Amino acid sequence: MASSLAPDTPPDAALRQIAADCQADLLKYRAIVLASGRPIGIHQSRVALRRLRAALGLFRNAVPGETERRLVRALAAEAKWLAAECGPSRDLHVFLAESVEEMPAEVKRIAARLARTHLERARAALSGARFAAFGEQMQALVEGKPAGGGRLDAFGQDRLEKRHAKVEHLGRKLASLDGERLHRLRIAVKKLRYAAGFLQPAFSGPGFDSARAKAYIEATVRLQGALGALNDRAVAARMLADIAAAARPTEQVGRALRKLDKQVASGHKRRRHKLERAWKTFRKAGRFWK
């Protein structure tokens, strides 16, 4: 997070500082992706892109002029594409590391082939001409001259209140929400979480309760994690389907994959209970911008 943000920072200046931080993180972890297969590279590259997209969405109307707004929209679209190109590599690693236990050797071999393919796809996206153009657009945003006007605290108060209200609305009758509505809630919580992190410095004046802000942000992180755990089942099903499709005719893994499918489907009630606890914690957390 840009440490120089303050309550009186103009919102368009705040966006440029946050975007610069995201760009630095992306370049740092992109270098790891290009140089090695260490999982942290792909994981943190996606985090940087996710944070950048969240910032561009949050501040998209804060930049002056239609030209700069087109630039913000273009950057958001490219960051989404880059994240999608890195997604299969990251998702497969999470699936192998966290979703299953005692994977059969023949399935591991197929997954290893897929992992290499996915990593090369991510490397191509992070090193090609399209990425170079994206970098130039990022520099144009970061180095652009802020027009000034407005204050980050007033901007943040409005945006956080609206995003908090949306999460509360989407989370009504939580126990009865189906997969699609849980997905919508997860996206709204993610946007709120990043917005709260970006905008926290806007309320750092006299009387600011940093502990209250920390508790609120931690509650959104916990809620997003609980919703993500429920979404892992869908991701795992996709990973298993990809492994099945990548199997060679001589690799008979159907039975093994069916067993793994049952394994990843277990624990649904436990994850639901975890979500309900996280929701209660979120509802109790005080809105630090009030």
Q: Once rounded to an integer, what is the mean pLDDT over residues 258-285?
A: 90
The residue out of 118, 144, 170 marking a domain boundary is 144
Letter for the amino acid at 123? R
Do 156 and 290 lie in one domain? The reply is: yes
What CA–CA distance (Å, rounded) separates 257 from 88?
Answer: 19
Do 112 and 170 lie in one domain? The reply is: no
pLDDT tens digits, one per residue of 154-177:
999 999 999 999 999 999 999 999
In this predicted structure, the answer to whether residue 220 has a pLDDT above a threshold of 70 is: yes
pLDDT the model gives residue 236:
86
Q: Which residues contact 109 (CB under 8 A, 6 or more apart)?
A: 251
Q: Which residues contact 82 (CB under 8 A, 6 or more apart)?
A: 49, 125, 126, 131, 134
Letter for the amino acid at 228? G
- This prediction has a pTM of 0.91
Do 121 and 187 lie in one domain? The reply is: no
Do 58 and 140 lie in one domain? The reply is: yes
pLDDT tens digits, one per residue of 239-268:
999 999 999 999 999 999 988 888 877 777
In this predicted structure, the answer to whether residue 16 has a pLDDT above a threshold of 90 is: yes
The residue out of 119, 144, 169 marking a domain boundary is 144
What CA–CA distance (Å, rounded) separates 181 from 231?
Answer: 12
Structure tokens at 167: 């999460």
Do 112 and 199 lie in one domain? The reply is: no
Average pLDDT, the chain: 92
Do 159 and 176 lie in one domain? The reply is: yes
In this predicted structure, the answer to whether residue 205 has a pLDDT above a threshold of 80 is: no
- Residue 111 lies in domain: 2-6+10-144
pLDDT tens digits, one per residue of 36-72:
989 999 999 999 999 999 999 999 989 988 999 999 9
pLDDT greater at residue 95 or residue 163: 163
State the total domains in the chain: 2
Do 213 and 133 lie in one domain? The reply is: no
Do 114 and 174 lie in one domain? The reply is: no
pLDDT greater at residue 235 or residue 216: 216
In this predicted structure, the answer to whether residue 132 has a pLDDT above a threshold of 80 is: yes
CATH number for position 114: 1.20.1440
Q: In 3-state terms, what secondary structure has residue 147? A: coil
The residue out of 114, 144, 174 marking a domain boundary is 144
What CA–CA distance (Å, rounded) separates 211 from 204?
Answer: 12
Do 67 and 27 lie in one domain? The reply is: yes
Compute CA distances 77 → 73, 82, 236, 285, whole Å.
Answer: 6, 9, 26, 33
Q: Once rounded to an integer, what is the mean pLDDT over residues 182-201?
A: 96
pLDDT the model gives residue 30:
98
What CA–CA distance (Å, rounded) separates 181 from 50?
Answer: 21
What CA–CA distance (Å, rounded) separates 113 from 91?
Answer: 14
Contact of 216 with 196, CB cutoff 8 Å: yes
Do 117 and 16 lie in one domain? The reply is: yes
What CA–CA distance (Å, rounded) separates 258 from 267?
Answer: 17
The pLDDT confidence band at residue 1, using thresholds 50, 70 and 90, is very low
Q: Once rounded to an integer, what is the mean pLDDT over residues 66-82?
A: 96
